[in-house]
């Protein structure tokens, strides 16, 4: 049996160690680190946040692009505004390329006005056209409130393997393309109307294009995915 003196010395030793740990900021937490006055750090494993699912897909895609000598994709869609001086009775929108619309005539063709990077959600609620569309830069919203078209191109990042429902609600016409295929057709000059459709998607980057035109009257453009406004973080260019 240990002598009482030995037991006291051992107890004093452990008490001293514990005091140093407290003063030095040593903890036994599951993760994380900190440094106390004496320079001690935590003894837990470093905390790591789970990688963002969208960023993970984008990183893999960009690594492949860079390896091939191409530039990596960046957040946001590239949108171009077209002025339509005399909106035709049947707007030339139903095409993956708007170039054919310029063949209407010099007075009624589509005229490119500006191009910009759009980083927001596509959620313009139905309102009087004179208020302008929030898809346009603020400086242009009051100048182009009717008889215009917008085409936004880039990429849509999907993070799972599943069917997804897309809902395109617009006033007037709109079209949605993924990987060059028409997914939703809400074309024509009309008041607020929506079309829905399902598409099976894999965890990858898809080319994206959204065509929209606004005639006279109210303006609206909303893109939903699975019942909610499509995540702006999913759009790249």
pLDDT digits (tens, 9 = 90+) for 11-23: 555 455 445 444 4
- Extents of the domains making up the chain: 1-48, 77-236
> What is the pLDDT averaged over residues 218-227?
92
Residue 92 has a CB neighbour count (10 Å cut-off) of: 19
- In the chain, how many H helices and how many E strands? 3, 12
pLDDT digits (tens, 9 = 90+) for 84-115: 765 554 455 444 444 444 333 334 567 788 99
Q: Which residues contact 128 (CB under 8 A, 6 or more apart)?
A: 217, 218, 219
Position 176 pLDDT exceeds 90: yes
Rounded to two decimals, what is the model's pTM? 0.71
Position 65 pLDDT exceeds 90: yes
User: Strand ranges (DSSP E) for 158-226?
Assistant: 162-171, 174-178, 181-186, 193-201, 205-214, 218-225
Position 142 pLDDT exceeds 70: yes
> What is the pLDDT averaged over residues 138-152?
87
> What is the pLDDT averaged over residues 149-161?
95
Task: Pick 6 or 177 by higher pLDDT.
Answer: 177
Considering the domain 77-236 in this protein, what is its CATH number? Answer: 2.60.120.1560
């Amino acid at each position: 049996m240990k002598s009482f003196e030995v037991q006291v010395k051992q107890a004093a030793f452990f008490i001293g160690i514990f005091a140093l740990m407290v003063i030095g900021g040593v903890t036994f937490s599951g993760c994380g680190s900190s440094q106390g006055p004496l320079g001690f750090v935590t003894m837990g494993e470093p905390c790591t946040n789970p990688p963002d699912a969208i960023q993970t897909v984008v990183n893999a895609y960009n690594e492949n692009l860079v390896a091939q000598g191409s530039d990596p994709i960046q957040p946001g869609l590239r949108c171009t505004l077209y002025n339509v001086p005399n909106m035709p009775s049947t707007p030339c929108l139903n095409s993956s390329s708007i170039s054919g619309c310029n063949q209407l005539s010099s007075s009624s063709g589509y005229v490119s006005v500006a191009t910009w990077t759009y980083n927001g959600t596509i959620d313009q609620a139905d309102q009087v056209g004179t208020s302008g569309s929030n898809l346009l830069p603020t400086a242009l919203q009051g100048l182009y409130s009717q008889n215009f078209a917008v085409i936004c191109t880039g990429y849509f990042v999907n993070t799972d393997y599943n069917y997804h429902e897309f809902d395109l609600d617009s006033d007037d016409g709109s079209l949605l393309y993924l990987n060059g295929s028409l997914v939703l057709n809400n074309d024509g000059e009309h008041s607020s109307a929506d079309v829905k459709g399902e598409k099976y998607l894999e965890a990858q980057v898809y080319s994206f294009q959204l065509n929209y035109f606004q005639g006279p009257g109210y303006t609206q453009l909303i893109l939903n995915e699975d019942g909610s406004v499509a995540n702006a973080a999913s759009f790249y260019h």
